Structure formats: C-alpha cells, structure tokens
Amino acid sequence: MAAVVLVAAPASGQGKTTVACALARLHARRGACVRAFKCGPDFLDPQWLALASGHPVDPLDLWINGPADCAARLARAAAGADLVVVEGVMGLYDGEPSAADLALRFGLPVLAVVDASKMAGTFGALVHGLRRWRDVPWAGVLANRVGGERHAAMLRESLAPDEGWAGALPADAGITLPERHLGLTAAGELPDALARLDAAADALATTPLGARTAADWPQWVPPVVAAPGAPRRLLQGRRIAVARDAAFAFIYPANLQTLHALGAETVFFSPLAGDALPACDAVWLPGGYPELHAQALAARTDLAAQLAAHVAADRPVWAECGGLMALAETLVDGQGRVHRLWGLLPGSAVLGRRVAALGPHRLVFGGGELRGHSFHWSRFETGLVPTLHTEPARTAGGRLPPGEAVYERGALKASWFHPWFASSPELAARLFSPGGLV
C-alpha cells in the first residue's frame, strides 16, 4: 500500500500543478518511490509531473479511461510506490466527471491549494465549502501566494480546527511554472525545468505539508480490480514511426504501451532535428506545437516527399491535431504569417486567438467506440469532405457542440481528435492498418 493524495483547487490558476510537482519532487529527492497521475486528459502537466516523480504519468478520467482502467492504474502504481500524487483539473467540482468524482469513487484524500493572495477570513469559508459541498475525503489545505507570516496567521485562524492547515507558500515567481496557449510550457523546452521544481520543493519543505514523510500519510487501500485482458495482437510485426520532438510532443505513454500490446514496434524520429522518415509500415504524427516551429517544418520538403511516397504506397498515416496542421498545405501562425507546409491535406490550418474546441469525444466506427478528447485553438479550412465525425460526450450550454471531422485521403487519416488507445485497442489498431475506417 501507498499514501495517496489528490491535489485540487477551487479553480484553474491557483497553483495546483506547482504544488503537486513540488510534493512529488520533494519526496523523490528523499528517496521515496513516487508515482503521479493527472486527472482528466492533458499532455503538458504530465510532463512536469514525470520530471518531478521520475516516472511516466497517465491521465485518469472516469469517462475517457473508464472506472475500471482508472482503478487498475491506481492500484498498480500504489502497489510499488510510497506516495501517489494525483493532480486535479480546473476546480475540484468542475467538469463531468470532476476531480471530486474521482476522489469520491476511489477514496482519494483531497489536498486543496488555494490562491489566498487577495483574501483573509474568506479563506476559511472557501475551504469549508470545498470540503463539505460533497464531503470529499480530506487531507488538508495549503495557502498559496501568501504575503507574509501575518497573512498566513490570518488564513490559518479562519479555518475550523479539523480542516488541516498544511502551511503557506509565498508569492514567488521563482516557483511558478511558465504558461502559454494550451497550458504550461513543456518541461522539456526549459533548461532550468528541474531547478524550478527544486525551488518549489525547497519552499514546500518549510511547510507542515513538506515536513510529512510518506509514512505520515494514511495508507490508501486500493480497489480490487480484475487484470485487464491482453488485446489481440492485430499489429504484430508492424513497425510504426512516431514523430517526437518539441513540435510533436503530445503523446500519452499509455498509447505507446497499447501499440506494443497490439504487437507493434515503435521507432521515434524528429522532424525538427532533420531526421528522415524511418523504414516503417505506418506513421503517427501526434499533436504538439507545429505553429511554434512552422518555419523549420516548412523547410522539411524532403520529409514531406517521404511521407507522400509512404501514403502513395498505401501505408497508413495517423495524424492528430498538430499532426494534421503539419500535413496542411499552409499554416497561418499567431502573427498572421503564412507558411507552406507538407501539403498532404488540401487546405490551411489557422491558429486562432482563443480555444476553438475543448472536451471529451468518442469516435464511433467498426462496431465500437474509441474515446478521447479535443483541445485546440486552430481551425482547418479545407474543401475535403470528412469521412466521419466524433461525437461530443456532453452538452455545452444546453447544446451539443459540433464533433471533430475525421478526414481520409488514401492511406492518410487525420483529425483534431486525440484518442485514448486503451479505450478500444482494436479500433486504435485500425488507425495504423491499411484500409478505411468505414
């Protein structure tokens, strides 16, 4: 058994990623085995949590993963760890499902992180509401961005005795993780990423929360779950080339594990580093930030030709989100500059100034459904007729938002949709197999 804590907040932007990473880094430095998860679909926060904990990080979402998958991943992690840190998403009760739903389902104690920079006595009322709204399991509360010792004392005095004062962190830009559109800056892009985490861990070490060892936390009893069956090895002997660098960085480790369980071999290549397309049976162009590297990608006319030849030989390509953008004829970046990209998909990817789509989706085909999510600021202007559309999992403002188009052009399949391969390994295999989806 291990200690488990879910780090949540009343809203986004309160500092829960910084605290979750600081907690993981602090205990890992002390020699504990720390595993971490992110509540809800996310590619950026898990990179920071992986750097802090030293282990790959999976998302936990009761709809996308399903309760059984979430339970199995938590149980496996707890079996070999001293501490499991789960970072929440948005506010504690935001979303369907929410971080609170996950905490209640599996009995995960909640550590609330509250930006207290502009409050005093209201802190206690807010914490009381977070805890009692649905009576979630409770681990305490940490005040963030606090002005000094007197401010911290006022915050602590506002709490009921049993609400678990875990300490306060100062308002310090040195322990704040940098952001840009889509979320945090990727950890791998910052040379001082680990130093930032160490600074946050050092600050946390001075608090009552930081003084606890993993053994001081209540030990979590994992649910009893049946081991998932291995999928049929539908990709046995197939070699899949996966683009991976700063432009194509949105890859769930669990998606790679699913491909391996299906029998595939994966090999990585970096378009930004000038790598040629490896010898392969299929290609995966994941999401990422092609709009930040459009000039370098545009110069890869050699790779564009190699991909075109690959598709002409009826070998599959699956391009998701940023991968779709790279395959467009042109990409218009945030400054309005037009870049001629790889041209396998007719049309233009245009970066917008706000979120274009966000939420969980399912792709129904082949007698089943592949679950995942959509999150992008760009739009794709094209005359291509989609083969399929995803189905949003929930309404927004009483209306069902539009689904994401899935385009097919020969052996090429592309969409804004980010699938979670483990939700249906058999359908995931279809993305990397010859033939259409319908």
Model pLDDT, residue 309: 98
Considering the candidates 21, 39, 280, 321, report the single residue annotated as catalytic: 321
**Where do we find the tokens 């559109």?**
181
321 is known as an active-site residue: yes
Report yes or no on 193 lying in a domain.
yes
If asked whether residues 167 and 266 sit together in one domain, one would say no
If asked whether residues 329 and 253 sit together in one domain, one would say yes
If asked whether residues 25 and 130 sit together in one domain, one would say yes
Model pLDDT, residue 183: 59
If asked whether residues 427 and 369 sit together in one domain, one would say yes
Q: Is the pLDDT of residue 225 over 80?
A: no
Q: With bands split at pLDDT 50, 70 and 90, how would you rate the model's confidence at 395? A: low
Among 183-192, 333-342, 363-372, 391-400, the least confident range: 183-192
Report yes or no on 231 lying in a domain.
no
Per-residue pLDDT reduced to its tens digit, 369-384: 999 998 877 888 888 9
Gap between the Cα atoms of 11 and 90, Å rounded: 5
Q: What is the mean pLDDT of residues 79-95?
A: 95
If asked whether residues 346 and 249 sit together in one domain, one would say yes
Gap between the Cα atoms of 306 and 292, Å rounded: 23
Q: What is the mean pLDDT of residues 40-68?
A: 94
If asked whether residues 214 and 249 sit together in one domain, one would say no
Q: Is 420 exposed, middle or buried (0-12, 13-18, 19+ CB in 10 A)?
A: buried
Share of the chain above pLDDT 90, in %: 76
Report yes or no on 229 lying in a domain.
no
Q: Which residues fall within 8 angstroms of residue 301, CB to CB, at 6 or more apart?
A: none
If asked whether residues 21 and 166 sit together in one domain, one would say yes
Report yes or no on 233 lying in a domain.
no
Q: Which residues fall within 8 angstroms of residue 403, CB to CB, at 6 or more apart?
A: 361, 389, 390, 391, 392
- Report which secondary-structure segment, H or E, holds 371: strand 368-376
Residue 80, classed as helix, strand or coil, is: coil
Q: What is the mean pLDDT of residues 409-419?
A: 95
Q: What is the mean pLDDT of residues 242-257?
A: 96
Distances (CA, A) of 223 to 136, 166, 436: 17, 27, 40
Q: What is the mean pLDDT of residues 329-346?
A: 91
Q: What is the mean pLDDT of residues 80-97?
A: 95
Q: With bands split at pLDDT 50, 70 and 90, how would you rate the model's confidence at 180? A: low
If asked whether residues 173 and 305 sit together in one domain, one would say no
More confident residue, 224 or 315: 315
Model pLDDT, residue 230: 84
Model pLDDT, residue 356: 61
If asked whether residues 156 and 260 sit together in one domain, one would say no
Model pLDDT, residue 308: 97
If asked whether residues 297 and 425 sit together in one domain, one would say yes
Residue 130, classed as helix, strand or coil, is: helix
If asked whether residues 331 and 212 sit together in one domain, one would say no
Residue 270 belongs to domain spanning: 239-431
CA 77 centroid distance within chain = 18
Model pLDDT, residue 380: 85
Model pLDDT, residue 211: 94
Model pLDDT, residue 193: 85
Q: Is 263 exposed, middle or buried (0-12, 13-18, 19+ CB in 10 A)?
A: middle
Gap between the Cα atoms of 147 and 145, Å rounded: 7
Model pLDDT, residue 274: 97
Boundary (domain end) residue, out of 164, 190, 220: 220
Per-residue pLDDT reduced to its tens digit, 252-300: 999 999 999 999 999 999 999 999 999 999 999 999 999 999 999 999 9
Model pLDDT, residue 371: 97
Q: With bands split at pLDDT 50, 70 and 90, how would you rate the model's confidence at 217? A: confident
Q: With bands split at pLDDT 50, 70 and 90, how would you rate the model's confidence at 179? A: low
CATH number of the domain residue 349 falls in: 3.40.50.880
Model pLDDT, residue 177: 72
Instruction: Please answer whether residues 243 and 217 qualify as being in contact, where contact means their C-beta atoms are separated by less than 8 angstroms.
Output: no
Instruction: Please answer whether residues 387 and 334 qualify as being in contact, where contact means their C-beta atoms are separated by less than 8 angstroms.
Output: no
Model pLDDT, residue 175: 66
| Torsion sign over Cα 5, 10, 14, 17 | positive
DSSP symbol at 174: G
Q: Is the pLDDT of residue 355 over 90?
A: no
Report yes or no on 230 lying in a domain.
no
Q: Which residues fall within 8 angstroms of residue 96, CB to CB, at 6 or more apart?
A: 63, 394
Give the largest Cα separation in the chain, rounded: 70
Boundary (domain end) residue, out of 220, 254, 288: 220
| Torsion sign over Cα 123, 126, 132, 134 | negative
The CA radius of gyration of the chain, in Å to the nearest whole number, is 22
Q: With bands split at pLDDT 50, 70 and 90, how would you rate the model's confidence at 194? A: confident
Report yes or no on 232 lying in a domain.
no
HSE, CB side, 13 Å, CA atoms: give it for residue 185: 13
Instruction: Please answer whether residues 431 and 419 qualify as being in contact, where contact means their C-beta atoms are separated by less than 8 angstroms.
Output: yes
Q: What is the mean pLDDT of residues 200-224?
A: 90
Domain count, the chain: 2
Model pLDDT, residue 229: 80
Share of the chain above pLDDT 70, in %: 95
Gap between the Cα atoms of 192 and 78, Å rounded: 30
Report yes or no on 227 lying in a domain.
no
Report yes or no on 69 lying in a domain.
yes
Boundary (domain end) residue, out of 220, 255, 285: 220
Q: Is the pLDDT of residue 228 over 90?
A: no
If asked whether residues 265 and 388 sit together in one domain, one would say yes
Model pLDDT, residue 184: 63
Residue 415, classed as helix, strand or coil, is: strand
More confident residue, 187 or 284: 284
CATH number of the domain residue 150 falls in: 3.40.50.300
Q: With bands split at pLDDT 50, 70 and 90, how would you rate the model's confidence at 243? A: very high
Amino acid occupying residue 354: R
Average of per-residue pLDDT values in the chain: 92
Record the tokens describing residue 177, joined without a space.
Answer: 């993780």
